Amino acid sequence: MGIKEAESRIKALKEELEKHNYRYYVLNDPVISDYEYDLMMLELAGLEKAWPALATEDSPAAKVGSDLQPPTRREFRQYPHRYPMLSLGNTYDTGELYAFDERIRKFSGSGCDYNCELKFDGTAVCLSYSRGRLVRALTRGDGHVGDDVTENVLTIGTVPETIGDTSFDFEIRGEIYMPFKDFERLNTERAEGGDPPFANPRNAAAGSLKTLDPKEVRRRGLQCVLYHIVGEDLPFERHTDAISWAAGQGFPVSGYSRLCHGIEMVLQYIGEWDSGRKSLPFATDGIVVKVNDLQLQKELGYTAKFPRWATAYKFKPEEALTKLLSIDYQTGRTGVVTPVANLEPVSLSGTVVKRATLHNADQMEALDIRIGDSVYVEKGGEIIPKITRVELSRRPAGAPVPVFPAACPVCGTPLLKDESQARHYCPNRDCPAVVKGGFLHFISRKAMNINAGDATIDQLYDKGLIRRLPDLYKLTVSDMTGLEGWKERSASKFIDSIAESKERPYHAVLYALGIRHIGETTAKTVASRFPSVYMLASASREELMEVEEIGDVVADSIRGYFSDPRNMETVDGLVRAGLNFEDKSGNAGRLSDRLAGKTVVVSGSFSVPRDRIKSLVEAHGGKNTASVSGSTSYLLAGEKPGPEKLKKAEKLSVPVISEDEFYKLIEE
Ligand code: IVH
């Protein structure tokens, strides 16, 4: 390769890598696998080494990828890191671990101990403690400046806000990650609420940490593990001493680390986790090997991007090569059009993969995919199959470039693009795909639990028997027997099943409406706080957000739904059909009448979630209201109650009671 060629390849790689850095660290929506990315980075670093004149300081090979939001979208305060937050050198090749060990032994003149740790696949954070108190939690950012995510980090129960006063200040660094079970729950909820799923637990963790609503963050089940302490004059000789000390102070640390005497033991550890990691409840993408002696760490020092005293061995993802046969474009119930690849069936980590999501038009473009291409499929976070790259050497001549449709494949309405989410959607609310999707959601098991499937909904829709949800309740046995394949018996069974759905509880009905972001769990919370649909429909944004688990996104979605006259018509129609739009369990769950006729304002934080207190008020016959007035019976004040509320209570001589006094009141 000549210098000209090297120059243009370096330029191309830099551009590609910058683009992928942005997708990975900022959007949390990468379009290529880590492995692919690492290979590109390796190629760039190799070229810059071979042609030092072409190496620049701002090259992606010389700096860490930045998770900072672009200046136009800055939602977090940013603070500088006291010590830069670097990345780790990595390899997929055990041979390079021998070379790593060799360099260190040469440098130190003797063998050394390594601490081997799991490489948690999440997003890095740095917690600064001063005089035993957490002062700030920052993301890695660009390594020099990070986003302040303190409030969100504090929603993770295991991160201590204070520890015993220490004689030294320090920073403790680690990873925020999302266990598989929370990741799956989150994605199910997102699918139910019509939101795009996260591709893997890492993206879900990083995206959640940068969510603007701490209530939402708390719900997501993030976890934290800490693995590195930095500061001036720390009283530790070994890395393992520092970690044991941290554990003693109550910090969450990994229980999977092992101190290894020499490189052979390191390889043993790697061998064990290569398969062992598959049964862990969270994602790991490799093993981190760290020199244990802190003095030696200091002497080895850092390059601009990595410590010289640590490295990561990464596990190769399981992937398979297959052929892209065609692409379907599917309009979902929210109108979003998703490209889905049809593949030649191929087996991958024990299952046969036939279809894979292509997410959106941007992803198709980034992959530069053609029909007939040989493509690599991988399980994102080892769960959802996705296409990670194209094997260009196998591209058939004249392979056609797929064209994302400009119009809805179902109703022909021109698609609109939601720039923030890079998704195309059909804006037609009467689009058969949207309407049928709405019915399918409505009848689903956790919603109205009506015994039918796609085919029935198709038939009813095609015959013009159903357009809006209440139409279902007007169907008769003779309507059904008029359809192909329906006999008296099956028809009356279906009609019975519709009639039985009127017994479904209020929260299931709320969920069935298909309001965006209202999954099954949120529907329950909403139902318990707003015991009738008309109360919910008239609740203000502020009243909605008073509920512990409702943030601005959910509140806006609820407001948006009920302020649309068409939706109110649907609700009215369903009310007339006799569906449960009120919480009838109120009296069943009644514990006593001690607060009957009393109106309570609950403010501040308590030893249990505020919502629990509010449901206790209701369970004992009381009523919750949002603001203090002349008719308020008690202001129940926890820690840091609203100062305005306190003032008003004093002015109106409303009794102010504590959490303990409240318990006495209801237990008497
Ligand atoms: S030590 C100076 N230990 O991997 C570097 N990092 O790809 C200190 N990571 O930025 C990092 N598990 O976010 C370390 N046990 C572990 C880790 C770990 C995951 C992450 C970390 C780092 C990235 C590098």
Angle between helices 432-443 and 454-462 (to 10 degrees): 130
Q: Best mutation site among 63, 142, 175, 270 for ligand 1, i.e. most ligand atoms within 8 A of its Cβ? A: 175
Q: pLDDT per residue over 130-152, tens digit each?
A: 999 999 999 999 999 999 999 99
User: Which ligand 1 atom is at minimum distance from the Cα of 124?
Assistant: 13
For residue 459, give the nearest of 434, 485, 477 by alpha carbon: 485
Question: pLDDT tens digits for 469-499?
Answer: 999 999 999 999 999 999 999 999 999 999 9
Query: How far lies 170's CA from each of 222, 568, 580, in Å?
Result: 23, 56, 56
Region of 327 please: left (phi>0), alpha (psi -120 to 50) or beta: beta
Distance, in Å, from the CA atom of 200 to the CA atom of 179, rounded to the nearest integer, reads 10
Nearest CA to ligand 1 atom 22: 87
- Residue 615 confidence (pLDDT) above 80: no
Distance 267 CA to ligand 1 centre (A): 19
Dist. CA 458–CA 448, nearest whole Å: 18
Q: How far is the CA of 116 from the centre of ligand 1 (A)?
A: 12
Q: Which tens digit of pLDDT belongs to each residue from 242-275?
A: 999 999 999 999 999 999 999 999 999 999 998 8
Calculate ∠ Cα 410-414-373, nearest 5°: 70
95-99, 235-239, 277-281, 408-412: which range is least confident on average? 277-281
Region 279-292: mean pLDDT is 95
The minimum-distance atom of ligand 1 relative to the CA of 140 is: 10
Q: What distance in Å separates the CA atoms of residue 42 and residue 428, rounded to the nearest whole number?
A: 47
Ligand 1 centroid to 87 CA: how many Å?
7
Q: What letter would DSSP give residue 539?
A: -
> From atom 10 of ligand 1, which residue's Cα is the shortest distance away?
87
Tokens of 130: 């001063």
Q: Mean pLDDT, the chain, as a whole number?
A: 91
**What is the C-alpha R_g of the chain?**
29
User: What are the φ and ψ backbone dihedral angles of 268, each rounded to 5 degrees?
Assistant: -60, -45
| Percent share of the chain, pLDDT over 90 | 69
Residue-wise pLDDT for 422-470, tens only, equals 899 999 999 999 999 999 999 998 899 999 989 999 999 999 999 999 9
Nearest to 411 by CA among 430, 424, 394, 396: 430
Whether 29 is in the pocket of ligand 1, judged by its Cβ within 6 Å, is no
Give the residue among 111, 176, 131 at the shortest CA–CA distance from 150: 176
Are the C-beta atoms of 194 and 106 separated by less than 8 Å?
A: no
Is a pLDDT exceeding 90 seen at residue 510?
yes
**Residue 198: predicted pLDDT:** 86
CA of 88 to the centre of ligand 1 (A): 6
Please, is 488 exposed, middle or buried when counting C-beta atoms within 10 Å of its C-beta (0-12, 13-18, 19+)? exposed
Q: What angle do CA 379, 384, 390 make, to 5 degrees?
A: 55
List, as one string, the DSSP characters of 81-118: -SS------EES-HHHHHHHHHHHHHHHSS--EEEEEE
Tell me the CB-side half-sphere exposure of residue 221, using CA atoms within 13 A: 13
The ligand 1 atom at the shortest distance from the C-alpha of residue 306 is 2
Residue 588 corresponds to which amino acid?
A
- Mutation test of ligand 1: which of 256, 269, 288, 309 has the most ligand atoms closer than 8 Å to its C-beta? 288
> Does residue 588 carry a pLDDT above 50?
no
Distance between CA atoms of residues 215 and 392, nearest Å = 46
Residues 6+ apart with CB under 8 A from 350: none
**581 φ, ψ (degrees, to nearest 5):** -115, 25
Question: Which SS3 state, helix, strand or coil, does residue 241 take?
Answer: helix
Token pair recorded at residue 149: 């995510």
Residue nearest to atom 21 of ligand 1 (CA): 124
Choose between 340 and 619: higher pLDDT.
Answer: 340
Q: Is the dihedral of CA 456, 461, 462, 465 positive or negative?
A: positive
Spatial contact of 320 and 302, defined as CB atoms under 8 Å apart: no
Q: Are 418 and 314 in contact (CB under 8 A)?
A: no
Catalytic residues: 119
Residue 607: count of CB within 10 angstroms of its CB:
11
Residue 569 has pLDDT above 80, yes or no: yes
| pLDDT of amino acid 72 | 67
Q: Say what the pLDDT of residue 610 is.
A: 77
Say if CB 33 and CB 388 are below 8 A apart.
yes
Which ligand 1 atom sits nearest the alpha carbon of residue 119?
A: 12
Decide: 86 in ligand 1 pocket, CB within 6 A. Answer: yes
Q: How confident is the model at residue 380 (pLDDT cuts 50, 70, 90)?
A: low
Mean pLDDT, range 342-366, rounded to an integer: 88
Of all protein residues, whose CA lies closest to atom 6 belonging to ligand 1?
A: 119
Cα torsion angle, 625, 626, 632, 633, sign:
positive
Instruction: Count other Cβ atoms within 10 Å, centred on residue 21.
Output: 20
CA 413 → CA 340, 368, 403, 433, 567, distances in Å? 20, 26, 17, 12, 21
pLDDT surpassing 80 at residue 608: no
At residue 73, the pLDDT reads: 66
DSSP string of 389-454? EE-GGGPPTTPPPP---SB-TTT-PBPEEEGGGTEEE---TT-HHHHHHHHHHHHSTTTT--S--H
Task: Say yes or no: CB of residue 253 within 6 Å of ligand 1.
Answer: no
Q: What percent of the chain has pLDDT over 70?
A: 97
CB-ligand 1 contact for 228 (6 Å cutoff): yes
Tokens of 472: 């279902």
Assess whether the C-beta atom of 314 lies below 6 angstroms from ligand 1: no
Tell me the sheet residues that pair with 113: 261
Q: Residue 40 in contact with residue 17, Cβ under 8 Å?
A: yes
pLDDT digits (tens, 9 = 90+) for 206-247: 999 998 888 889 989 999 999 999 999 899 999 999 999 999
Instruction: Select the more confidently predicted residue: 16 or 166.
Output: 16
CA 611 from centre of chain? 24
Token couple for 64 = 């860490």
In whole angstroms, what separates CA 505 from the centre of its chain? 29
Residue 139 is encoded by which pair of tokens? 């993301």
Question: What number of residues does the chain have?
Answer: 668
Half-sphere exposure of 321 (CA within 13 A, CB side): 8
Residue 384 or residue 482, greater confidence: 482
Q: What's the confidence (pLDDT) of residue 382? A: 44
Give residue 309's identity as a one-letter amino acid code: W
3-state class of 618 per DSSP?
helix
Q: Residue written as tokens 């095609």? A: 462
Ligand 1 neighbourhood includes 171 CB (under 6 angstroms) = no
**Residue closest by Cα to atom 9 of ligand 1:** 119
Q: What is the whole-number distance in angstroms between the Cα of residue 652 and the centre of ligand 1?
A: 57
- Rounded-to-integer distance, Cα 274 and Cα 285, Å: 10
Q: Pick the atom of ligand 1 nearest to 118's CA.
A: 15
Ligand 1 close to Cβ of residue 108 (< 6 A): no
Cβ 120 under 6 angstroms from ligand 1? yes
Q: Residue 383: pLDDT band by 50, 70, 90 thresholds?
A: low
Q: How far is the CA of 196 from the centre of ligand 1 (A)?
A: 28
The whole-angstrom separation of Cα 150 and Cα 570 is: 43
- Whether pTM > 0.75 for this model: the answer is no
Rounded mean pLDDT of 559-585? 91
Which of 227, 306, 308, 311 maximizes ligand 1 atoms within 8 Å of its Cβ, making it the mutation to test the pocket?
227
Q: How far is the CA of 354 from the centre of ligand 1 (A)?
A: 35
The pLDDT value given to residue 180: 92
